[in-house]
Structure 1
């Protein structure tokens, strides 16, 4: 689909449109409440039943949301979050709520585009939580953490933190944010209902948006790692190993982490014991690009898409794409989706890694895909495209 054609087709959709006949008979909406699906940052939707290996390669274009045009600023589209048939999407001027089935805009918040970066969003009960870092300050960035009424967009509470929030995870009715500036790294946890600060800890780093059954795994900057209770901050266990957490399994029983050697590990979330390790999956700095379902880990490493057994780390399949490196995978309905850098979204059967498409269908994809409510949502940073069976 050409950029010009898409722009002409979807221009009106940025301000909403009437539901179609197809949308009126759509499946009930499912949730994708945080950037990685839920508090485990699994990037896997276990409830998707509409888009499967049977029809993923035959999806058709549904509708789009086109962001406003701005000459400068720090904000852009990122993958949406959604709950209760509402979809929340950042854009170049702020963010807005849409009907996730029809694309009709429900409300929007316009922000000072020169003051903030693209917000991190999460749905928490009846609230939409936004973490907005200040734009342009390298040495002393701050964050404004605000909760809005998810139905109306009305502000419920707002707090400021004298440190950025590069990561945010919502679990156990609290909001944990982490990030550092030239002064220090700090993790702070706030009560969801009113934004009250529950605890804060300095000289630790939250390396991803991950909570494993209410446990946070924090890096201590060259002094090992520590697991804490997300609600109280109480230390649960510690280790001399410097872990870089990437995700948890859906049950919250394992942290999936990397280390400075580039190995990937599974740790027991209850006590930190190493369950297995494998090389060639994490990057050299210990970070990893993953999706995790109940039985497997799907990892993008350079041009490889790899499936591992979540219980023992054994490799199940390995597919290589010669064209360009892959972005973060998404798993839903037995399908693995992974964006090729500056290219197409590949769709593979989660069982064996085999291709589900005769020809590439979904192009110009940045960041990971979101699959919910029987719909595939992808963005290129300015246009959100939605594909349906």
Structure 2
């Protein structure tokens, strides 16, 4: 299944259909529409492999299905990005979190913060629980963090859990929520709690994690040492260590490769999840914004670059207006980034799409876009 953060690549329409067919046996129901992490899954891939309706051939025919205004207030909070699960769209606003029906945008419930959130919370849905981690802004010099579990059907608070000294990173996978961070006194810890009841599962003092879990493996560092350690997300047990520094923000959808910056921050590395071995290096890439089984999508100055996921070789590059690819979503063979849509195979800009925001998500034939306090759902016309 997302995570504090916070992004998907795609394949041509025929391959998407093939993947969907392979994942769904004949006669079985299609996958329930979901985007239940900020980056789609615990791997933070930002790639939905199940989308077959909105494709390069149809994305230019999107029309508004419904639109709602999010709650606003005079506070230090801000609007977040939507996630989708159980027939609901969950999104943070200036007062807390609200849930809307995917079918018509009807508001189903709201949960208000105690105080205010300094930034949009990290949210994910697992096992019927909406998990949210946030940092308040009541004291800018010494903020506090909170971690809560809400019933996805009603918004009722089920638990509030123990956290790291200050939540900076969150990973949610295998029924466990892992939080990590350092407070202003340099107290540092990684703390894991169970999604089911919010009870502490394990704790590691002096450790910080990265924001992705590759099928249950998370990387991080000891603040008193050098190198990178990989550990089990459910138990905290060490799986392997390497002497070099690696910052992993994304993993392959299959959970077998980490992607992240090299120790000096100049290159992109693909690293084996099994043993930490470097598989390939791509120089002069700013950072991964999405991954699928075919391509790795990277921000590159004022553009976006697609690399071969097996070799790191550049496949295409597309210039983007004003800035590079700060985030991306890939579904149905379309890359959504910087407010535009690109063909995932060629990088060609697809015209006719509505004006989109910094971040859109696509699932179940619906594109959800949050822009300046308005949440809008789009579907294909005709």
CA distance in 2 between partners of 1:348 and 1:115 (Å): 34
User: Counterpart of 1:6?
Assistant: none
Give 1:295 shift: 1.2
Instruction: From 354, 370, 378, give the equivalent of 1:379.
Output: 370
CA distance in 1 between partners of 2:362 and 2:348 (Å): 19
User: Counterpart of 1:5?
Assistant: none
Give 1:77 shift: 1.8
CA distance in 2 between partners of 1:353 and 1:311 (Å): 19
User: Counterpart of 1:331?
Assistant: 330
User: Counterpart of 1:348?
Assistant: 342
Alignment check: 8 A CA contact 1:300 1:329 kept: no
CA distance in 1 between partners of 2:291 and 2:324 (Å): 20
Alignment check: 8 A CA contact 2:95 2:116 kept: no
Give 1:136 shift: 4.5
User: Counterpart of 2:213?
Assistant: 211
Give 1:329 shift: 1.1
CA distance in 2 between partners of 1:330 and 1:354 (Å): 15
TM-score (norm 1): 0.85
Q: How is 1:355-370 mapped onto 2 (pairs within 5 angstroms)?
A: 355-358=349-352, 361-363=354-356, 365-366=357-358, 368-370=359-361
Give 1:385 shift: 2.1
Alignment check: 8 A CA contact 2:302 2:321 kept: yes
Instruction: From 253, 263, 271, give the equivalent of 1:267.
Output: 271
CA distance in 2 between partners of 1:146 and 1:326 (Å): 31
CA offsets, 1:134-192, max 9 Å, x none?
A: 21545543321111111111121112435222222211111111222122332111111
SS of 1:205 mapped into structure 2: strand
CA distance in 2 between partners of 1:270 and 1:28 (Å): 28
Alignment check: 8 A CA contact 2:115 2:138 kept: no
Mean CA deviation greater in 214-223 or 187-196: 214-223
Give 1:325 shift: 3.0
User: Counterpart of 2:127?
Assistant: 125
Q: Which runs of 5+ in 1 are unaligned?
A: 1-26, 283-287, 340-344
SS of 2:265 mapped into structure 1: coil
CA offsets, 1:256-284, max 9 Å, x none?
A: 110223210010001000000001212xx
Distance 1:271 1:143, change over 3 A: same
Alignment check: 8 A CA contact 2:174 2:234 kept: yes
CA offsets, 1:72-106, max 9 Å, x none?
A: x2222211111121111111111111112211111
User: Counterpart of 1:65?
Assistant: 68
Give 1:300 shift: 2.0
Give 1:113 shift: 4.5
Distance 1:164 1:381, change over 3 A: farther
User: Counterpart of 1:192?
Assistant: 195
User: Counterpart of 2:153?
Assistant: 151
Alignment: residue pair count: 348
Mean CA deviation greater in 62-71 or 31-40: 62-71
CA offsets, 1:282-306, max 9 Å, x none?
A: 2xxxxx2411111111112221111
CA distance in 2 between partners of 1:178 and 1:142 (Å): 13
User: Counterpart of 1:258?
Assistant: 261
Mean CA deviation greater in 112-121 or 227-236: 112-121
CA distance in 1 between partners of 2:321 and 2:119 (Å): 33
Q: How is 1:1-389 mapped onto 2 (pairs within 5 angstroms)?
A: 29-71=32-74, 73-114=75-116, 117-161=119-163, 163-182=165-184, 183-208=186-211, 210-221=212-223, 223-259=226-262, 260-282=264-286, 288-339=287-338, 345-358=339-352, 361-363=354-356, 365-366=357-358, 368-389=359-380
SS of 1:206 mapped into structure 2: strand
Distance 1:138 1:289, change over 3 A: farther
Task: Give the ranges of 4+ consecutive aligned residues of structure 1 lying more than 4 Å apart after TM superposition.
Answer: none
SS of 1:57 mapped into structure 2: helix
CA distance in 1 between partners of 2:316 and 2:119 (Å): 38
CA distance in 1 between partners of 2:261 and 2:236 (Å): 23
CA offsets, 1:188-246, max 9 Å, x none?
A: 111111111111112222232x1001000103346111000011111111111111111
